[in-house]
A = this chain, B = another copy of it.
Amino acid sequence: MRVRLLGSAAGGGFPQWNCNCPNCSKVRSGIAGARPRMQSSVALSAEGEYWFLLNASPDVRAQIESFEPLLPSKGVRGTGVAGILLTNADLDHTLGLLLLREGECLIVHATSAVRRALTDNLRLEEILSSYGGVIWREPPAELTPLLTGDGAPSGLRYAAFPVPGKLPRYREGSAVASPGDTIGYCFEDEKTNGRLVFVPNAAALTESVRGYLSGCDAFLLDGTFWSDREMQAVGAGTLGAREMGHLPIGDADGSLAYIGDLNVPLKIYLHINNTNPILCEGSPERQLIEAAGAIVGYDGQEFTL
């Protein structure tokens, strides 16, 4: 399968429109060692004909334009996007759906908990029904062929698994947390058997999540924050990483301590917040990532499995 990072930043992107933290200031000034990033989203395909978006970021218009296989190739209107798979209902993962309204009916894979947030709070289904509409698909718990909207096989199998997370802030007042609020995905190429695991949000690495991460050829993992008090430290916010549903990378019990030992060929962090010091090449935190054999994902990064 072919995998392309369309965006590698957390919500707000890098730089963020209203942020002047050292990182954002540095990337705006064009200093070497910090590159701009769009909001987290990934495109993948088994054979390059049918492409799936993992989450639909608010930057989806520029992201589609940045990657030729996603563009319409036949006829006056069309798209290379055969479906969209959501990991949660966060705005930085779902607002892109509204930007795809001009197309045909969207095929969106999402748990019932995520669908309820999008339907009850964002009114997304109602709004999209005035345009191309949306068809929901429930992600399977066991590896199952991933089909296109026409029911054609895509050459991929997929499974979803629960990941500890947090309700979107806009949903907090109207729902209680449920296991389907945040999921990860495992994808397997039917021909090569190459396996990708996608976990852009994780408040903790449970045994089940660790099982998926340790048993794949590549994973894309929540790299939102380096440390729990990172936002406060630069004066950019009042909430801690854990309060926002993100296990910090660099804490004693953080994700790096776990993934460093894993024998996985490609260990990639994405969904990186603008305050995270790993965004700067050469920073001590970036060096720790690289010393652990992991990679700070970047827009346009591509690999095959």
A73-114 residues at the B interface, CB under 8 angstroms: 73-79, 91, 95, 98-103
Q: Are A98 and B102 touching (Cβ within 8 A)?
A: no
- Of all chain B residues, the one with the shortest Cβ separation from A237 is B77
Q: CA–CA, A78 to B60, complex, Å?
A: 25
Q: How many chain A residues have a CB neighbour from B under 8 Å?
A: 50
Q: CA–CA, A173 to B91, complex, Å?
A: 25
Known: A62-B62, A99-B58. A72 touches B20 (CB 8 A): yes
Contact with A59, one of B61, B73, B91, B236 (Cβ below 8 angstroms):
B61
Centre residue among A16, A76, A169, A170 by max chain B CB count within 10 A: A76
Q: CA–CA, A32 to B215, complex, Å?
A: 50
Q: CA–CA, A75 to B21, complex, Å?
A: 8
Query: A-B pairs with the 6 shortest C-beta distances?
Result: A20-B72, A76-B235, A130-B170, A17-B64, A18-B103, A130-B169
Residues of A within 8 A of B (CB): 11-13, 15-21, 28, 58-62, 64-65, 70-79, 91, 95, 98-103, 121-123, 126-127, 130-131, 169-170, 172-173, 234-236
